[in-house]
Amino acid sequence: MKRLLKISFSLFMILILSIGVLGCANQEQELEKVRVAEVTRSIFYAPQYVALEKGFFEEEGLEIELTTTWGGDKTMTTLLADGADVALVGSETSIYVDSQGSSDPVINFAQLTQTDGTFLVSRENVENFDWEQLKGSTFLGQRKGGMPQMVGEFVLKKQGIDPHKDLNLIQNIDFANIANAFASGTGDYVQLFEPTASIFEKEGKGHIVASFGEQSGHVPYTTFMAKESYMNENNDTIEKFTRAIFKAQKWVEEHDPAETAEIIQSYFEDTELDIIKTVVDRYRSQGSYATDPILDVEEWNNLQNIMDEAGELPGRIEHDKLVNTTIAEEVISE
């Protein structure tokens, strides 16, 4: 009888443990996968990587499959072809898609960066820099029609410089080769993203003399967006996603740049930790990281003004047509 009781107890314990294991497995299976396509890999997107590394998405029951799609056109194509559920890319791409008469518009639902992310780098160490010093110089700009170039021209005109008349403007070099062209001796000034700008400064190849982000004002430079059909069918998922991003935005704002740099270092294995820290500090100090996910009307209009000034705006679009702030507003009010 005792032997039978021992066997029964053993079977009972095995059953309990099995239920526990199955329970854990089911809990893992409950994580909902969201496929995210990011336009490039950049320290500019630090809050996104913080959300991943700190487990903020998992806390919301989401598993993120992150893919770098390298370029606005490729990123938007991936989203439209259902290769991704969410895209992290410049808001101007949603305007371009709408202008083509899309029956399933792309909706901006959470803003990640709120300024331009480029810097003006001079070959020489210019003391007391003034924008007037650019006149007559050879300037390495960005690709025509892209946000960096549009913001660059907007800022230059704001400073009284006509980029096509006052500069020897070069913008026929592929994005990936702009930095190398400058390092090889082309141009007096160049418009560069981080961490290249800080690396050039550290290596003595150039000197950061101005920030396009500080001069351009707030603009939805990079936002999370999804097709309207996906958002309608997955409203809860979008809300969870936005909540995780907002947690990360607050974390980055409240913690020292060195802490953020250490957390995101694995995403930038070829970049030294001190450079990552410098870049995070620079972007945070100038307010490039949005502190909440709301893309407001003023920012949307500023974006269209910049596009219009560059001759790239297909037509004015009302804020509420391509921007959904309802979810972000609910998340930050919790």
Stretch 205-210: mean pLDDT, rounded? Answer: 97
- Cβ–Cβ under 8 Å, residues 182 and 140: yes
Q: Say yes or no to pLDDT of 21 above 70.
A: no
Stretch 131-144: mean pLDDT, rounded? Answer: 94
How far apart CA 12 and CA 136 sit, in angstroms, is: 85
- Give the model's confidence band at 127: pLDDT under 50 very low, under 70 low, under 90 confident, else very high: confident
How far apart CA 95 and CA 147 sit, in angstroms, is: 12
Stretch 191-198: mean pLDDT, rounded? Answer: 96
Mean pLDDT of the chain: 92
Q: Say yes or no to pLDDT of 19 above 60.
A: no
The string of pLDDT tens digits covering residues 259-286 is 999 999 999 999 999 999 999 999 999 9
Taking the alpha carbons at both ends of the chain, their separation in whole angstroms is 59
Stretch 246-252: mean pLDDT, rounded? Answer: 98
Encoded amino acid at 17, one letter? L
Q: Say yes or no to pLDDT of 188 above 90.
A: yes
Say if 32-115+219-332 and 118-216 have the same CATH topology: yes
Write down the pLDDT at residue 175.
82
Write down the pLDDT at residue 172.
87
Stretch 279-305: mean pLDDT, rounded? Answer: 97
Stretch 300-306: mean pLDDT, rounded? Answer: 96
* Domain ranges across the chain: 32-115+219-332, 118-216
Q: What percentage of the chain carries pLDDT values higher than 70? A: 91
Write down the pLDDT at residue 2.
47
How far apart CA 17 and CA 322 sit, in angstroms, is: 51
Write down the pLDDT at residue 174.
84
How far apart CA 116 and CA 102 sit, in angstroms, is: 27
- Give the model's confidence band at 176: pLDDT under 50 very low, under 70 low, under 90 confident, else very high: confident
Q: Report the C-alpha dihedral over residues 159, 163, 165, 167, rounded to 10 degrees.
A: 100
| CATH of the structural domain 118-216, one choice from 3.30.365.10, 3.40.630.10, 3.40.190.10, 3.75.10.10 | 3.40.190.10
Q: Say yes or no to pLDDT of 4 above 50.
A: no
Phi, psi for residue 75 in degrees, rounded to 5: -65, -45
- Give the model's confidence band at 144: pLDDT under 50 very low, under 70 low, under 90 confident, else very high: confident
How far apart CA 102 and CA 314 sit, in angstroms, is: 14
Write down the pLDDT at residue 10.
53
Q: Say yes or no to pLDDT of 33 above 70.
A: yes
How far apart CA 110 and CA 292 sit, in angstroms, is: 8
Q: Say yes or no to pLDDT of 189 above 70.
A: yes
How far apart CA 95 and CA 86 sit, in angstroms, is: 16
Q: What angle do CA 280, 282, 283 make, to 5 degrees?
A: 65
Q: What angle do CA 221, 38, 173 make, to 5 degrees?
A: 70
Stretch 213-238: mean pLDDT, rounded? Answer: 97
Q: Which fold has domain 32-115+219-332?
A: D-Maltodextrin-Binding Protein; domain 2 (3.40.190)
Q: Say yes or no to pLDDT of 13 above 60.
A: no
- Residue 195: is the preceding peptide bond cis (ω within 30°)? yes
The string of pLDDT tens digits covering residues 91-114 is 999 999 999 998 999 999 999 999
Write down the pLDDT at residue 8.
52
Write down the pLDDT at residue 22.
45
Top-confidence residue, 198 or 18: 198
Q: Say yes or no to pLDDT of 25 above 70.
A: no
How far apart CA 125 and CA 204 sit, in angstroms, is: 9
Q: What percentage of the chain carries pLDDT values higher than 90? A: 85
Write down the pLDDT at residue 110.
98
- Cβ–Cβ under 8 Å, residues 87 and 37: yes
